[in-house]
Amino acid sequence: MFGETCDEILDESKVINIKEHKRPVRKKGDREKLIKTLPHEIVECVLNDEEALCKICGSDLKVIGKKKVRSEMEYIPAKLIIKDYVQYVYKYVECGKNNANPYDAIYCAPVPSPVLTHSVASSSIISWIMYQKYMMSMPLYRQEKDFKRMGAELKRDMMANWMIRSSEYWLKPLYELMHKQLLKFSIIMSDETTWQVNKEKGKKASSKSYIWIHRTGNCEGPPVILYQYTRSRSGDHAKAFLDGFNGYHVSDA
């Protein structure tokens, strides 16, 4: 009875053809190319003093050669440290004691300017958060969990504040300088794509906003590529952005 049931199930089963896949053949030297640009660290496998003695005659071993056995790619996890900047204060010993200078002369050692005032943020951690969010699409709430596992209670609103302040202090002046340079080229290409903003004043979350890209061609040296956010698709945004440009403008319908 059981065998008959199994036969019926097998008879009713459908057969499908699985599409074959192709695997590229690894060429000789591919592994060397993979690790070529990475820094190398030598791990020497040697005998200790006790092992280097012959157990029969008691003589010492002599190195007659060495060979590379294998290469391993090692991952070194990131870590967080706090740098405490301590400023030293100096005083000229003889000043204030003689007629040459009757006043004390006190000097302070220079201290590097912070990337953000009244903040523990450094340029390295701000760059990393920006890279994770805007290049690797990792939202701040996930980064918050990652930093917590590393021992730092970095809240997402604090990181968002760092992004806003850094863009205003450091990226905006660079953007404006690139904007002026963009208008000097003879060819500019523009296009827009839809963009959704969840919490925008005066607009529903389901409504469309737009991101424009304005860039130069490759025929006039290193290209200048700039993005522009707008609330609508009106061409007046592009006209205002490219005000002062005198050349060929390329766009679609």
158 vs 96, residue with greater confidence: 158
Query: In the prediction, which pLDDT does 247 show?
Result: 93
Q: What is the mean pLDDT of the chain?
A: 88
Q: How far is residue 137's CA from residue 83's CA, in Å, rounded to a whole number? A: 28
The pLDDT tens digits for 17-48 are: 777 777 777 777 677 777 788 898 999 988 88
Percentage of the chain modeled with pLDDT above 90: 55
Task: Identify whether the C-beta of residue 123 lies closer than 8 Å to the C-beta of residue 111.
Answer: no
What mean pLDDT do residues 53-65 have? 78
Question: Would you say residue 1 has pLDDT above 60?
Answer: no
The pLDDT tens digits for 127-160 are: 999 999 999 999 999 999 999 999 999 999 999 9
pTM > 0.75: no
Percentage of the chain modeled with pLDDT above 70: 93
Strands 187-195 and 248-250: parallel
Task: Identify whether the C-beta of residue 226 lies closer than 8 Å to the C-beta of residue 179.
Answer: yes
